[in-house]
Amino acid sequence: GGVGMASGAYVVPKSVWLPAMKAKGLEISGTFARRAGVLQMELSLTNKAMSIMSDFAIQFNRNSFGLAPAGPLQVLTPLSPNQTIEVSLPLSTVGPVMKMEPLTNLQVAVKNNIDVFYFSCQYPISMLFVEDGKMERQVFLATWKDIPNENEAQFQIKDCHLNADAASAKLQSSNIFTIAKRNAEGQDILYQSIRLTNSIWVLSELRMQPGNPSYTLSLKCRASEVSPFVFQSYEMVLKN
């Protein structure tokens, strides 16, 4: 499992983004988190070379949601051989935008006193779900009607054993807000909304039947290319 946090949102465990053998002994592992509304890239830097590393800096290529470092990479003391340090890099979402493939891909350059190194990583789109993403009920109904059927995508979430209220609470801790709950023919149905940092809204219908571990998720969004990533977020949140 991941590291718990105050708001209860799930954080993916760190993985290796830059192996030491590709970066003259510098190993970087990391993950992304949204902590109380603040976006962070959380990094572990390990020196697997035989000399000291210093003068660290980081830069992002333009990306789909304008992610950019909101400050310098704070490595205040040189990194000795075999030493690991943990660094949190605050992020903003007002950097230059360029649509990436896949959508949530981020290209990063890290520099130290030895060289400049490049790697790619992917962030969970749930990191971009804002705290004020609960849509007015009237607006939800109008928007749901307004978004064409071609923009609706349907997904199955398997092996889920939460009831509707538990699922709703869990999703809310990741800024997926329940606007209405209904029951029709024995199925519990949640209507939910999400707003991304770039003001894209995603509307969802989550169906579940007591005793059936497979949920049906329908997503409606004007920018429908985000839907598969939002589905991944539902899976990640509900199963962790």
The minimum distance between CB 195 and another protein, in angstroms, equals 19
Q: Which residue has the tokens 């509307």?
A: 203
The minimum distance between CB 184 and another protein, in angstroms, equals 4
Angle CA(176)–CA(156)–CA(39) in degrees, nearest 5?
30
Q: Which is nearer to another protein, 99 or 182 (CB)?
A: 182
The minimum distance between CB 186 and another protein, in angstroms, equals 10
Q: Which is nearer to another protein, 106 or 176 (CB)?
A: 176
> Which residues make up the interface to another protein (CB under 8 A)?
137-138, 141, 144, 180, 182-185, 187, 189, 191, 205, 218
Q: What is the number of other CB atoms lying within 10 angstroms of the CB of residue 210?
A: 9
The minimum distance between CB 176 and another protein, in angstroms, equals 17
Q: In 101-166, at which residue ranges do the beta strands (DSSP E only) sit?
A: 105-111, 116-122, 152-157
Q: Which is nearer to another protein, 59 or 218 (CB)?
A: 218
The number of residues making up the chain comes to 240
Annotate 69-85 with b (16+ C-beta within 10 A) or e (fewer).
beeebebeeebeeeeeb
Distance CA 106, CA 83 (A): 26
Q: Which is nearer to another protein, 27 or 205 (CB)?
A: 205
